[in-house]
Structure 1
Amino acid sequence: MSTRRTFLKYALFGGAAAATEGLPAAIRRAYAIAPEPGTTYLNAEHVVILMQENRSFDHMFGTLAGVRGFNDRRAIRQKNGSSVFVQSGKSGETYAPWRLNIHDTKVTWMGSIPHSRDSQVDAWNGGHHDRWIDVKRPHKKEYRQYPLTMGYYTREDLPFYYALADAFTVCDQNYCGVMSSTTPNRLVFWTGTVRDQQNTASNVYMRNPEILEGGMTWTTFPERLEKVGVSWKFYQNELSQTGGMSPAERSWLSNFGCNVLECFDSFNVSSNPGFGEWIEERIRECSE
């Protein structure tokens, strides 16, 4: 990483404009901010945390120079001797990783593959990791024959992300906190656990619906920050449990329940003025 940063420092501040003209302006501006000598992350005024979901590290950065990626010689071997990066289905077809070409195909619009708790466990298959083709087939019937689970993007597809990784530090081999879907991983993100108590007899929240029902009571990270005098903000367009949005607005602006702080009693989401309207909308949906 230091070699890459040295090159960029030369290119950005040494006049080699041609070498960096492809970098997005936002990244050039961020990289140009020089820290004061002797400072550390403890001097930061703000820390911004953004969680994106349903993308594995290799799905985005499997071809990034300097990471283990698809050429990882230490990747586990399956029972048939093949690398975990070579997956076979029940019907005998075998696939290696292949590029999801954003520019010349309609792959972006072919829909997602399952990312539920059940499909995660089935693909893992007791640690053998050999059922990805069969259990991660696309949701849309017209594309079920395509092994989208083996697809990945390259620098050509995600130029901003690759430029960001080039300019700063990328952490190789990152995985989700729990082998499950969106909301349990958001629990880990904002509370560090999926248990209401830290003992083996406690409830374990591993599926979206049981979390979105609300009523959780353990201490979240924002509450811990407040306790030590650190302020915080969570940015979203609107509370998930707020009515008044049209279907189109909800598709583009909704938080899709991804702020799990709304599910904790201590944040009193039900006192929001729009909560009653949201309840009425759900009742109408059930009667239609």
Structure 2
Amino acid sequence: MDLDQLVNARQTRRSVLRKFGTAAGVGLTLGACSWIPSAVPTSTTSSKSIDHVLIACQENHTFDNYFGRYPRAGKFGIPSNYTQPDGHGGNIRPYHFSSHNRPDLAHTWQAIHSEWNDGKMNGFYTTGGREALGFYDGSDLSYYYALADAFTLCGNYFCYQLGPTLPNRIALWAGTSGGVTSVTKIPAGSLDFPTIVDLLDAHHVSWKCYNLGLGLGSFPEVEFINALPLFKHWQHDHRLHYPATDFYNDLGSGTIPQVSFLITDAFISEHPHIHPS
């Protein structure tokens, strides 16, 4: 791909993000939440208060990597005096990335558990090197920071499993990975346990998967993008395969379903070393 194609691709990706972000900022924040506080009075909220929920899952960036310097991150931000041991008696401080295109750090079960280090949280530098302490700020992520200013940013958020993409993509649908802890080939239709879309159908809540990929980056297997076809009951469901044009048309006509799953490719998902939005 030449320079002009890269520039055009980036503008297209930003337009995709803007279109679904500005159309459903509230839905995106709900999709990022792992819980809803029980302290919220039931009298002030209703299931009828929300018409549409849009869920997008990005790739391989932690909360602190994107929002550690967000002014309202509070206790979930990067402390001013934070350091990580370098393994030789010294300490390393977090730093602002000088380049947007960063390498994809190791994120296997073994690597992330080494970083976690039985809860000591002191193995990031010794496992991932200095790149593990890099962060972006508002000058790099003006679009995301604008969303956070306008809507809700959920700080107490983390992936289902300290591990790679596949088990977490499965858990996005089912709340469990079914014992999967690594990137492995799983035949379509081989998983057989309940998913969120089983509940949606049971409660007559409409849903669709919109495939927003630009074809400019891909994962080795389809389950990296959308793990739902791995489930026996859903591998042939027509609702898994709506193109981006249908998404924009449905937005324009006001006919998007109650729940929309936005399926992205490696490029739009900002998988390192792809430039963040």
Q: Do Structure 1 and Structure 2 share a fold, with TM-score over 0.5?
A: yes
Q: 2:234 aligns to what? A: 267
Alpha-carbon shift at residue 173 of structure 1 (Å): 2.7
Does residue 251 of the first structure (1) align with residue 217 of the second (2)?
yes
Any conservation in 2 of the 1:182–1:258 contact (CA below 8 Å)?
A: no
Q: Which amino acid aligns with 1:264?
A: F
- Structure 1: 4+ residue segments shifted above 4 A: 24-31, 38-41, 210-214, 252-256
Q: Secondary structure at the match of 1:233?
A: strand
Any conservation in 2 of the 1:117–1:181 contact (CA below 8 Å)?
A: yes
Unaligned ranges ≥5, structure 1: 1-23, 32-37, 73-82, 102-106, 138-146, 196-203, 239-247, 272-288
Q: 1:25, 1:193 → 2: CA distance?
A: 31
Unaligned ranges ≥5, structure 2: 1-17, 26-43, 239-277
Q: 2:108 aligns to what? A: 116
Q: Which residue, 63, 66, 80 being the options, matches 2:72?
A: 66
Alpha-carbon shift at residue 25 of structure 1 (Å): 9.6
Any conservation in 2 of the 1:214–1:262 contact (CA below 8 Å)?
A: yes
Residues 79-111 of structure 1, C-alpha deviation per residue, up to 9 Å, x if partnerless?
xxxx7x41123345531111113xxxxx33342
Does residue 48 of the first structure (1) align with residue 54 of the second (2)?
yes
Q: 2:147, 2:184 → 1: CA distance?
A: 35
Any conservation in 2 of the 1:217–1:264 contact (CA below 8 Å)?
A: yes
Q: 2:236, 2:118 → 1: CA distance?
A: 39
Structure with higher Rg: it is 1
Residues 116-137 of structure 1, C-alpha deviation per residue, up to 9 Å, x if partnerless?
1111111111112222112224
Q: Which residue, 74, 94, 98 being the options, matches 2:95?
A: 98
Q: RMSD of the TM alignment (CA)?
A: 3.4
Q: What TM-score results when the alignment is normalised by the length of structure 1?
A: 0.60
- CA separation of 1:183 and 1:41: change in aligned 2, threshold 3 A: same
Q: Which amino acid aligns with 1:71?
A: P
Alpha-carbon shift at residue 250 of structure 1 (Å): 6.5
Indicate the percent of aligned positions where both proteins have the same amino acid.
27
Q: 1:51, 1:181 → 2: CA distance?
A: 14
Residues 188-234 of structure 1, C-alpha deviation per residue, up to 9 Å, x if partnerless?
22111223xxxxxxxx2222216567611001111221122112111
Q: 2:138, 2:70 → 1: CA distance?
A: 8
Q: Which amino acid aligns with 2:196?
A: F
Any conservation in 2 of the 1:57–1:174 contact (CA below 8 Å)?
A: yes
Q: 1:168, 1:90 → 2: CA distance?
A: 40
Any conservation in 2 of the 1:184–1:211 contact (CA below 8 Å)?
A: no
Q: 1:39, 1:154 → 2: CA distance?
A: 33
Q: Secondary structure at the match of 2:176?
A: coil
- CA separation of 1:268 and 1:173: change in aligned 2, threshold 3 A: closer
Q: 1:165, 1:100 → 2: CA distance?
A: 21
Q: Which residue, 178, 182, 207 being the options, matches 1:232?
A: 207
Q: Secondary structure at the match of 2:117?
A: helix
Q: 1:205 aligns to what? A: 180
Any conservation in 2 of the 1:27–1:163 contact (CA below 8 Å)?
A: no
Q: What TM-score results when the alignment is normalised by the length of structure 2?
A: 0.62
Q: 2:165 aligns to what? A: 182
Any conservation in 2 of the 1:188–1:194 contact (CA below 8 Å)?
A: yes
- CA separation of 1:221 and 1:26: change in aligned 2, threshold 3 A: closer
Residues 24-54 of structure 1, C-alpha deviation per residue, up to 9 Å, x if partnerless?
89877778xxxxxx98452433211111231
Q: Which residue, 223, 239, 264 being the options, matches 2:198?
A: 223
Alpha-carbon shift at residue 160 of structure 1 (Å): 0.3
Any conservation in 1 of the 2:188–2:231 contact (CA below 8 Å)?
A: no
Does residue 135 of the first structure (1) align with residue 117 of the second (2)?
no
